[in-house]
Amino acid sequence: MSGTEDLLIEAAELAVEIGHDHPPTLLDVRWRLTGPPGRDDYAVGHLPGAVFVDLDTELCGPPGAAGRHPLPDPVALEKALRRAGVRQGQPVVVYDGGDGMAAARAWWTLRWAGHRPVRLLHGGFPAWVAAGLPVDTDVPDPTPGDVTVRPGGLPVLDADAAARLAAADTAVLLDVRAAPRYRGETEPIDPVAGHIPGAANLPAPAYVTGGRFPSAAVLRDRFADIGVTDGRPVGAYCGSGVTAAQAVLALHLAGRPDAALYVGSWSGWVADPDRPVATGTGPGR
C-alpha cells in the first residue's frame, strides 16, 4: 500500500533536506485559473533555490479539442524540465500557493513523464512561510538538467476510456467538481453544463482541505463511501485535469496507485458535441 513518504513532504523536513549536499530540485508552480500569473507571486518571494515552471505553457499543452490543460508535448516538457535543472533520478519537490492543485498536477505530470522521485510540499508556500522559514527573491540559474521524459508512468484516460469506466458497474469514474457544476445547474467556464453519464460526484473538499490531506485511513473511508473499493478500477476528472490530478494524488495516498486521470476532463469531453451529457444528482447511466 502506498504511503506518504514518497508523495508529500512537510516544510520542516524540506528545510533540512535543502541543507544537504544533494538537495532536491525545487519547482514553484503557483497558478490561478483566472490569474494573475503565478510568476508574479514567485517574483515577490519563493523558496531559496526554487525555479518557476509555468503550468499553462510548460507543464500542459495548448488548449484545444483535448481540453484546457491537455498533456504536454514530451519534447517540450523535457526541455522545460531540463531548463529548471531536473536531473535523472534526482528528487524533485513541487509547491504552489497552498491549495495543492497546481502542485498536484505538476506531481502527476512528472510521474507520468517517468520521473518518480517527486513530492509535493504539503500546504505549499503558505506552510513554508508559517513555519518561519526563509524566503528569497533571487532568481537562480540552475545547471541544465538531463532528465529524459518517458510518457506512460501513470495511467491516462481518453474520452472513450472515461466513458467505458463510467458505464461499468464494476468501476468508478469520479467527477470532483463542485456539486452544482456536476448537476448541470451552472457552468462558469465550459460551454456545456452537466457531467459524463455514469460518473459519481465527489467534490474535492471531501478528500482535501486547504491543500492538506487527511490520513490514509480517512481517505480510504471517504473514497469507499462512493464506491471506490479494492478491485474496482477508478479514474477521476474535473474541469481541465488540474483538480482531478489532486484527486489522483489522494487516491495514491489511500493506496490506489492505479488511479487514472482523464486529462481532458469536462473541457475535453464537451469539445465534441456528439458526446452525451447527464444532469441531476445521480450518475445518469
The catalytic residues are 238
* 164 CB-contact burial (10 Å; exposed 0-12 / middle 13-18 / buried 19+): middle
Q: How far is CA 26 from CA 103, 169, 178, 223, in A?
A: 11, 42, 31, 31
User: Which backbone phi and psi does 109 adopt, to 5 degrees?
Assistant: -65, -45
Residue whose C-alpha is closest to residue 89's, from 49, 117, 119, 120: 117
Distance CA 93, CA 15 (A): 11
| DSSP percent split of the chain into helix, strand, coil, nearest 5 | 30, 15, 55
Q: How far is CA 7 from CA 10, 71, 107, 120, in A?
A: 10, 21, 9, 6
Instruction: Outline where DSSP puts E strands in the chain.
Output: 8-9, 25-28, 51-52, 92-95, 118-121, 156-157, 172-175, 200-201, 234-237, 260-262
Distance CA 101, CA 244 (A): 8
Contacts of 33 (CB under 8 A, 6+ apart): 189, 242
Q: Output the nine-digit C-alpha cell for 153.
A: 508512468
Q: Output the nine-digit C-alpha cell for 101.
A: 492543485
